[in-house]
Structure 1
Amino acid sequence: MANILFVIGLYPNYGGTEKVTTVLANAFVDRGHKVSIASFEQPHLELKDEELNPSIQLVALSFPLRKKSNVSILENVLDSKKIDVIINQWCLPYYVTSLINKARKKHKCILISALHGVPDQNKRLLTILHHKNTTENPVKRFLYGQAHKAMVFVTGLNLKYVYKHSDQYVVLSKSFIQTFRALSKIKESAKIRAIANPVTIEAPQSFDCLNEKAKENSILYVGRMDHANKRVHRVVEAWEEIHRKHEDWKLVLVGDGPEKETLQSYVKINDIQRVVFEGFKKEAPIAFYQKASVLLLTSDLEGFGLVVIEGMIYGVVPIVYGSYSAIYDIIENGKSGFITPAPYQRTNTVQQLEKLITDKVLRQELSRAAYDRAQHFALDRIVNEWENMIQEVYEK
């Protein structure tokens, strides 16, 4: 059994990486490992008692990241807890890895760095590209283009540094490995392994446990409402095109964010019927997955898309914009859901929505297939992959 330390930016906190950390940490404890979690900021300590196994110790680091006291705190944890494995959940920027390596100089513990996003995409890069593509000023367009190139170059340097100074590097999809190699310009990739995120919510025991009568004629979006990443306006605009044709269906939006008020105003001004804004939910949105028939995700930026497998495990048929390659690991297009091609076009989303709304038999077939496909991301299976990797790396 291993002594494991997670290092993460903000924890406890709401968010995909934070939720995955909690689920993996609890699962490791259930299998006999001892776990600690170190974070630089602790915004929602109430989640510790609500979600985390009581045996897991939280360690408070602080900003600025690179100060000596953080090194000392980590050194004390490595000594007192006899840590065997460090899992770095915040491997960009590079100086988190640098900090960890300073602390483990005199220790034999291994360092596994996990990238919870797409190697060549992040919010900053997308924002620069958005400005470049929307400005009519040729000078600004040139400057944004140069800024984007510079940011891509810096991202590659960060990836290369962390890879070189870790014992193992984990990405969320096999399709990310080639992207990582191209961007970081590493010559070999022996230390890279793909391990997907697990289903992070309580799953039904079987598909038969899902009562077909519980399903409503509803299209569901779950997630943060922001323009740069999630592009939730696309969900609303797709529904706007068809809502008058399907008066027995509704759109349910679960989440909060800076775009929410804008979306509410748009719905009201354009008289879009049967749109329900449910707001942010502290608890997992299982009740919404149980009722929904279709899940709609139109993000420009996703690392993995936890809500997709969460919905699928409850038989919700996903329609997802294929802006990131990991979605092809999750959905078998046309068999367990639909992936619309890039670049984004509303007509593609509307076409797949119409298909599922009007064909109940198809919807039921894909619902079963979505449930079956989600089993590939069952927690036990993913934890097995982590344990096998840790053992292999540690033995080396």
Structure 2
Amino acid sequence: MPVENRAFFLIDYSVTGGVEKVNANLSFLFQENNIDFNHIISLYSVNEYPEINYASHLKVHVVNPISKRSLIESITKVLQENNITTILFQGDNMTIALAVLKAAKKANCKAILHYHGSPHAYLKIYIFREDLIRNPILMFKWLFSKIVYPFKKNKLKRVIQLAQDGFVCVSHGAEQEIKDLYNLNDYSSQKIITIYNPLLFEKINYYNLFSEKEKIISFVSRLTHKHKNAMLIVKTWMLLADKYPEWKLQILGDGPLKTIMESVFEKNKVQDVLFYGNVKNIEEQLIKSSIAVSTSNCEGFGLAMAEAAYFGNALVATKSDGGLKDIIFEDQTGFFVPLNDALSLALSIEKLIQDRLLCTELGKNAQKRISDLDFKNEIIKWKKLLV
């Protein structure tokens, strides 16, 4: 039986983000279950050392291609020089995904695409009415997105067709969106499967968990406009902060909007907002908070909300494309509100603030929902695909 020599492939393994965190968790999960992964191949690396801990035995290879034209050759070279037999690769960027698939074919290497997003994150552009009022030039960007839509859709279809070794989505929501986009029949969609992202927290005492909840709202996100729409939490909290001064908003994450968000709060004298930046031991904050909020326009799965649910937070989110619908059940584990609607978001949060029994009930239901997903048994699906 040939010796397997497997590798993770990431666009940039050194940064902090949901994709990187998932792969780091997988590196430990595979190690615990005797699925040998020996390498990380990273297309780029902006940091000398990664901000997230991966399994220590993994050997890192940074490709740094000279140009887009050299992508396939650069990746092929790393695969061949290290005798990689299987590559599990981040497949959210279609140009890079095609390059990895072609390189893997040249290197006679099995290639499994790990799709962390929603197809609409690639196909759509999220521009709202207020964006156009503020900057009318965005209308041209919106029109251009309509023109290129069919070309992008065909490119994604080509990636799906080439991913013969497996196409792994991180939520049933995203999986169904792909199948609906292309009207895939049962046979042609068999290789597209869902394997949930692993949660690797220590077991907790759920009785103590709910007795120790504080008047804290958690917002865990990359602080960007694209996809995450992070400024929406600023607009939302400004509608609530003065009415509920005993409540705090904690923001966990970093990004280019952080300075702007801080300055808006400061200018409007909004207090009780805590910026923590990127936090490695996020459970310390999520154990305390009662409500978790997502402002995203799209989420592959919504790892941050899954983690918040694990620690018994009631969930409030904009009705994004992707997989949050796998976690949030309306009026059971939380609430969905329309995209980019600060008032609706504030009203749903306020409903939970005013009704602590409802907040606790939804938090308990959210925690049960995550437990029912039984993440650790997802390793069986990985073994079937990899071994």
Normalised to the residue count of structure 2, the TM-score between the two structures is 0.87
Match of 1:355 among 351, 368, 377: 351
> Which residue pairs with 2:120 in the alignment?
120
- How far the C-alpha of 1:97 sits from its partner, in A, is 3.3
Residue in 2 that maps onto 1:335: 332
In structure 1, what is the equivalent of residue 75 of structure 2? 70
- Give 1:277 deviation, angstroms: 2.5
Once residues 180 and 158 of structure 2 are traced to their aligned partners in structure 1, the CA distance between those partners, rounded to angstroms, is 14
Unaligned runs of 5+ in 2: none
How many positions carry a matched residue from both structures? 378
The correspondence of residues 50-129 of structure 1 with structure 2, limited to 5 A, is 51-63=53-65, 64=67, 66-67=69-70, 68-77=73-82, 79=83, 83=85, 85-105=86-106, 107=108, 109-122=109-122, 125-126=124-125, 129=127
- RMSD, aligned α-carbons: 2.9
Instruction: Tell me the distance in 2 between the aligned counterparts of 1:91 and 1:265.
Output: 32
Give 1:394's aligned residue: none
Provide the secondary structure at the position in 1 that maps to 2:50. helix
Contact 1:173 1:326 in 2 (8 A): yes
CA separation of 1:325/1:41 partners in 2, compared to 1, >3 Å: closer, same or farther?
Answer: closer
Residue pairs, 1:244-393, within 5 angstroms: 244-278=242-276, 280-340=277-337, 342-391=338-387
Give the partner amino acid of 1:253: I
Is the 1:89–1:115 contact (alpha carbons within 8 Å) kept by the matching residues of 2?
A: yes
TM-aligned CA deviation for residue 281 of structure 1:
2.6
Structure 2 partner of 1:17? 19
2:286/2:311 contact within 8 Å kept: yes
Q: Distance in 1 between matches of 2:293 and 2:207?
A: 24
Deviations 1:198-223 (A, max 9, x none): 22x5243342352622x211111122
Q: Distance in 2 between matches of 1:39 and 1:176?
A: 25
User: What's the CA shift for 1:66?
Assistant: 4.6
Q: How does 1:26-65 map to 2 (within 5 A)?
A: 26-35=28-37, 36-47=39-50, 51-63=53-65, 64=67
Which residue type is aligned with residue 298 of structure 2? L
TM-score (norm 1): 0.85
Q: Is the 8 A contact 1:131 1:144 kept in 2?
A: no
Amino acid at match of 1:92: N
Report deviation, 1:113: 0.9
CA contact (8 A) 2:91 2:97 kept: yes
Q: Compared with structure 1, are the counterparts of its residues 315 and 103 closer, same or farther at alpha carbon in structure 2 (3 Å cutoff)?
A: closer
2:221 matched to 1:223? yes
Q: 1:313·1:370 contact (CA, 8 Å) conserved in 2? A: yes
SS in 2 for 1:243: coil
Tell me, what secondary structure is at the counterpart of 2:125?
helix
Residues of 2 paired with 1:138 and 1:287: CA distance?
A: 43
CA 1:160–1:276 in 2, change beyond 3 Å: closer, same or farther? same
Q: CA deviation at 1:374?
A: 1.6
Query: Corresponding residue for 2:157?
Result: 160
Match of 1:208 in 2: 207
Q: How has the CA–CA distance of structure 1 residues 225 and 145 changed in structure 2, closer, same or farther, with 3 Å as cutoff?
A: closer
- Compute the displacement of 1:21 (Å): 0.8
Q: Distance in 2 between matches of 1:357 and 1:131?
A: 29
Structure 1 residue 158, shift from structure 2 partner: 2.2
Q: Deviations over 1:142-183 (max 9, x none)?
A: x43441123322321221222121221122222333432454
Between 257-266 and 34-43, the greater mean CA deviation after superposition: 257-266
Change (3 A) 1:32 1:166: same
CA apart distance, 1:121: 1.9
Change (3 A) 1:145 1:235: closer
Q: Is the 8 A contact 1:94 1:162 kept in 2?
A: no
Contact 2:219/2:251, CA 8 A, preserved across alignment: yes
